[in-house]
A and B are shown apart, each in its own frame.
Chain A
């Protein structure tokens, strides 16, 4: 992780930052959340905060326990995850395919460029009323919204990845008389892979924010719905459990994608 000049610190070289052991890294990474939790706990126990609007840590954990044991959290989470998987899969596949064509063909790129430029800046939430109108309030509109959100991130990064292939490598394949299909499959796509995976990672983040937003507006199940329902019922602890669940799941997925990235891109 560290930029190094010469040898490492121990042997007297110059390093811009200190290397740390993996275990120490995990420990350090946990230290800041632990501090926040400790502060939260103390504030709750000492009565520094108004528990009616900001419940303390012990109360929140108790409520979380209840939500887990009675199955509420799981069933809502499962509904959200299934929507994310569907929408993300559609959006990512379309993003890679259309992005590849746009990256490879100047004509195709010119045709779609303005349309993409026009539609992409529209915030995902702005689509919600329209999608409800067109598709209805069922899963269909949520999945569509997630697909669209994922699509933009994957599309832009795929185009970028395809276009930034090293022309020197392309020249090598020209000299070796390789046909276009081989060049695309063996050179252009592999060299675009890191960028595509970055798009996938960003797209996954968008997918999560889309599902929560959609569920907060129209749903009878899902994490977003759970948050909204808790708000209406004035259950701040449940609300917080909902919000932090999104954070935890987000972190897990991001770690997973990073692991995948490391495995796929060894160069």
Chain B
């Protein structure tokens, strides 16, 4: 790969349609997007705009109707442990303890001791020491999501796909988790693709924000966030970019603009 700049993920002319009651519904249309190695990219859009579908295509959980998704220059054919995915719900196995849930993620053949060490290191990273033997039902939503993240990190993926991972968490927990994801990103240099409808979250975390409009989902705008991280949410630049994104949303949709100031 002696290209000028390495693109980790290349999405070229991708479209996706689903059959719903015999009718073909176009969810994504001619998406072209390159994501650099180590970039933190966020996709924002209204619900139902196909952003989750796009993520599933990158993950290899779905195949595009037209076009191609490439990771490291190779077309994505099936899911890979090198691409971790984190869903909104923690999706932990309720019958397994915290450590067993994380251990389940391990892909390579390791002996007991190596596994234990790997799991212990990640439990340390997510700050759940003392909860190793706890069952998921004994954890709060935020703690469950931490375990989910640890399970995805255990194979040291170079891409992490996050599908509204903090959507179900309260505001304070969410801010904590955002800081932790940022730390993981700067420690591991993982390429991150985050889906959210929280505009502040998008600006706080990402290098680039991609706005997806709906029906069918097309990229309506891309905004680079040229601020150093960690970012101050009350900073003037932050506000300016937020206004930019808001405008993008409420000019391009048929929702009455004024309604949001009541």
Interface residues, chain A, with chain B CB atoms under 8 Å away:
168-169, 171-172, 174-177, 186-187, 190-191, 193, 265-267
Contacts and interface: CB of A to CB of B under 8 A. Distances in A.
Contacts of B137: 267
A176 B91 contact: no
B133 to A, nearest CB: 11
A175 B79 contact: yes
A177 B95 CA distance: 20
Contact of B81 (A171, A177, A265): A177
Contact of B79 (A169, A174, A186): A174
B107 A174 contact: no
Nearest to A267: B94
Ordered nearest first, which 7 A-B pairs have the shortest CB separation? A267-B94, A175-B79, A267-B95, A190-B95, A175-B85, A172-B91, A177-B81
Contacts of B84: 175
A68 B135 CA distance: 48
Max chain B Cβ within 10 angstroms of own Cβ: one of A171, A172, A190? A172
Nearest to B104: A186
Nearest to B101: A172
Given A175-B59, A175-B61, A177-B81, A169 B93 contact: yes
Nearest to B161: A175
Nearest to A193: B95
B10 to A, nearest CB: 20
Contacts of A172: 87, 91
Interface of B: 59, 61, 78-81, 83-85, 87, 89, 91, 93-95, 104-105, 107, 135-137, 151, 155
Given A175-B85, A176-B107, A186-B104, A266 B59 contact: no
Contact of B135 (A186, A193, A267): A267
Given A168-B89, A168-B91, A267-B135, A176 B104 contact: yes
A190 B93 contact: yes
A169 B91 contact: yes
Contacts of A193: 95
24 contacts: A168-B87, A168-B89, A169-B91, A169-B93, A171-B87, A172-B87, A172-B91, A174-B79, A175-B59, A175-B79, A175-B85, A176-B104, A176-B151, A177-B78, A177-B81, A186-B104, A187-B93, A190-B93, A190-B95, A191-B95, A266-B95, A266-B135, A267-B94, A267-B136
A interface, by DSSP: helix, strand, loop or mixed?
helix
Nearest to A194: B95
Contact of B61 (A171, A186, A191): A171
Contacts of B59: 175
Max chain A Cβ within 10 angstroms of own Cβ: one of B84, B93, B137, B155? B93
Given A168-B87, A186-B104, A174 B61 contact: yes
A179 to B, nearest CB: 11
Given A171-B91, A175-B84, A267-B137, 11 more contacts: A168-B87, A168-B89, A171-B61, A171-B87, A172-B87, A177-B81, A177-B107, A187-B93, A193-B95, A265-B95, A267-B94
Nearest to B89: A168
A254 B79 CA distance: 45
Contacts of B78: 177
Max chain B Cβ within 10 angstroms of own Cβ: one of A168, A176, A177? A176
Nearest to A186: B104
Contacts of B105: 176
A177 B89 CA distance: 19
B226 to A, nearest CB: 33
Max chain B Cβ within 10 angstroms of own Cβ: one of A168, A177, A187, A265? A177
A172 B78 CA distance: 13
Given A266-B135, A267-B136, A177 B80 contact: yes
A267 to B, nearest CB: 4
Contacts of A186: 93, 104
A177 B78 CA distance: 9
Contacts of A190: 93, 95
A187 B95 CA distance: 9
Max chain B Cβ within 10 angstroms of own Cβ: one of A175, A187, A266? A175
Nearest to A173: B104
A193 to B, nearest CB: 8
Contacts of B151: 176
Contacts of A168: 87, 89, 91
Contacts of B95: 190-191, 193, 265-267
Nearest to A171: B61
Contacts of B80: 177
Contacts of B87: 168, 171-172
